Chains A and B, each alone.
Chain A
């Protein structure tokens, strides 16, 4: 704390040249920090205040009602809640084997060298591609493929729907889960790995019986943060999910997620209650992703301090 001791020695007399600049500079630093904290609080407050009409009108039944009828002014978000949960968890399920493989690849098998830097660059690029591009590509390439699959399976060939959205989401969140997983796996102390090797374990046994159990909580945190992204992802999902406000019947039926219904209907929302219901969905998204992020980061911090 070098700065602390120097702070105390500054004599606040106006004779010293540059002291005023010093004072202003410190205030600017403090102010910009304060502004960000206030900004976040203001975001929460605005969302809350603007969703009050809907909160008052529907209360808790907002979560359990599936009618979303702007004409008669009845709003319930059950079908979007189901749509969001289905797409997020399905995409996590698809993403899991791939992100785990990349984590092991980067964290254990190939920590350095051209192969690992190649894979690392590719995953970083995947994370950098804008979601609108994913959505566009999904709409014109993935949707026809899914449609063919649905014809083979003998179900109504929409092409768009929960399943297509989950596929796109899975591709998008693999990099997040993988980069955190790789870091956590590389943090596993080598003495416990060497102990297992000395007992005659093969590398596969070391990975599945020593490394993965040891890194479990960190990997879970990575998956949690990926879930946070999947929940809030908007554009790619909006373009391929089919935008139906009915409760999805199967994973192939069209639906809507919380984020996609906001994207679709916000500019058309006439009437205070309609807009307020959409903002309440936004508030819920904000709160859920906030909790997920705080918990995920807390776990990661704990894991990296322990290692």
Chain B
């Protein structure tokens, strides 16, 4: 009787472990399915022309996504220029002032901003920039993406600088190095890899972001480098082409997805290498 009970419990234990492992591995299936379909449908349309030519009207064979690649790059640059320095300085402020009313508010703001749906950021960029400038523009799209980058970089900077011991800063100050040089030349270089990781993660995140661009950058079938004109972006192109009724456009969308996912995967990969090779440790 007792032995039966023990056997049952051991059996239940093993079954539970098997269930956990099974469910865990089952949830990996979507990743491989997605990668499989993107590669199968997308790789065939990839070519040098695909990356360097403009899109063609419906019905014509061929055509590329050069305008979307350039547009995405332009948007990322516009987003990074203000967001990276500001994110880092705000992160430094947080690590230098661990307590205090502004730090509390800032930490709260960063958390809330990070959780804000991207579509809401799009509305904001529309209200602030598109209405006042009288039209859709790359600038408004870039600002929307920049707002999304800020909290990620600020948090990464704060979390990294937390790991750096006070003694390092004190040693520098004791040598008579001014405070600002201590931060710029001692503290920030020591936390370089953590901050770089945060920047790359935020770049990977905004490179694939679509919702805030729908009514800011808007999309553009032509090449455009003017930041006050509408511009195309990879995710926008995928959205417009995937939801169109034309099979030629669907295959372009698969190819563009392939390019986008490669960019995101490479950014992730580089991030991991930096995080492992130049670990912030003391």
Contact = CB atoms under 8 A, between A and B. Distances in A.
B113 A136 contact: no
Given A29-B89, A130-B260, A137-B38, A263 B120 contact: no
B43 to A, nearest CB: 15
Contact of B21 (A105, A235, A289): A105
Contacts of A43: 116, 120-121, 124
Nearest to A16: B178
B17 A29 contact: no
B223 interface: no
Contacts of A18: 178, 180-181
Nearest to A23: B180
B231 interface: no
Nearest to A99: B27
Given A6-B173, A46-B124, A133-B238, A36 B211 contact: no
Given A2-B169, A125-B268, A133-B238, A33 B93 contact: yes
Interface residues of B, number: 92
Interface in A105-162: 105, 109, 119, 122-126, 128-137, 139-141
A205 B242 contact: no
Q: Interface on chain A toward B: helix, strand, loop, or mixed SS?
A: helix
Contacts, number: 258
A43 B105 CA distance: 15
Contacts of A135: 239, 242
Interface string A190-212: 00000000000011110110000
Contact of B120 (A99, A233, A285): A285
A98 interface: yes
Contact of A133 (B17, B27, B261): B261
Given A203-B13, A294-B111, A47 B124 contact: yes
A264 to B, nearest CB: 9
A132 B241 CA distance: 12
A37 B102 contact: yes
Contact of A174 (B10, B27, B97, B110): B27
26 contacts: A3-B179, A6-B179, A18-B178, A29-B90, A33-B94, A36-B86, A47-B123, A101-B20, A101-B24, A119-B28, A126-B28, A128-B264, A130-B209, A130-B210, A131-B208, A131-B210, A136-B238, A174-B27, A232-B117, A234-B117, A234-B118, A234-B211, A235-B211, A259-B117, A282-B120, A289-B117
Interface of B: 9-10, 12-13, 16-17, 19-28, 30-31, 33-34, 37-38, 85-86, 89-90, 92-94, 96-98, 102-103, 105-106, 108-124, 126-128, 147, 150-151, 154, 166, 169-170, 173, 178-181, 183, 204-205, 207-211, 214-215, 218, 235, 238-239, 242-243, 250, 253, 257, 260-261, 264-265, 268
Closest CB pairs A-B (n = 8): A130-B208, A232-B117, A101-B23, A293-B115, A25-B180, A204-B16, A202-B13, A32-B89
